[in-house]
Amino acid sequence: MRHFKISKGCLIVILLNLIGWGGLTFLAQKLYSDSDKVITSYQELYTTARGKENLSTIKQTLAEAVDSRATISSAFLAGNELIGFIEKIEGLARTAGVELNLNEPKTGTGKTPGLELSFHAAGSFAGLYRLVGLVENLPYRLEWQSLSLTLKSGTTWSGDFDLTIISYTPDNATK
């Protein structure tokens, strides 16, 4: 068997190589750790910037909606506006030239939830037809449940109307 003799120079080269490879491994681990920290910091920065941008967009949308709030609120009939609404329907009946008998309104929870109104009107056919048109042009979402017109005598007609105001809020939820 042969024995290998290692010279001092060869030993120094091997040790330097081992030290070099150890140093490169240490630097690679440090670089990987630092790059991981940079990526995590970038993700946090991106998330924060995106959150601020979304918040800014929401604030801008809310600021733009402030002007529309009055318009949106006017499309809903609140419970505290019910008396004024009934007076408005009575005024529309006078404008149409018909007599109006309004039954007590009630809150409906059936097929179409909302405020249920029933009324009887008498007058000319043109007046009753005009009343229907005036009521339909109110700024609320309405649904006619039934509408019947009957010739009473001569040119006098009578009508029974059942209507549901879908855009009715019994409490003051729109304010």
Instruction: Report if residue 47 sits inside a domain.
Output: yes
Instruction: Report if residue 1 sits inside a domain.
Output: no
Task: Provide CB contacts within 8 A for 130, sequence distance 6+.
Answer: 95, 96, 97
CATH of the domain at 100: 3.30.70.60
- What's the 3-state SS for 66-116? HHHHHHHHHCCEEHHHHHHHHHHHHHHHHHHCCEEEECCCEEECCCCCEEE
Q: What does the pLDDT look like over 102-121, one tens digit per residue?
A: 888 887 766 667 888 899 99
55 shares its domain with 82: no
**Residue-by-residue DSSP string for 110-138:** SSS-EEEEEEEEEE-HHHHHHHHHHHHTS
* pLDDT at site 99: 93
Instruction: Report if residue 156 sits inside a domain.
Output: yes
Per the structure, the count of domains in the chain is 2
Give residue 163's domain range: 77-169
134 shares its domain with 93: yes
* pLDDT < 70 regions, the chain: 1-4, 69-75, 79, 109-112, 170-175
67 shares its domain with 86: no
66 shares its domain with 141: no
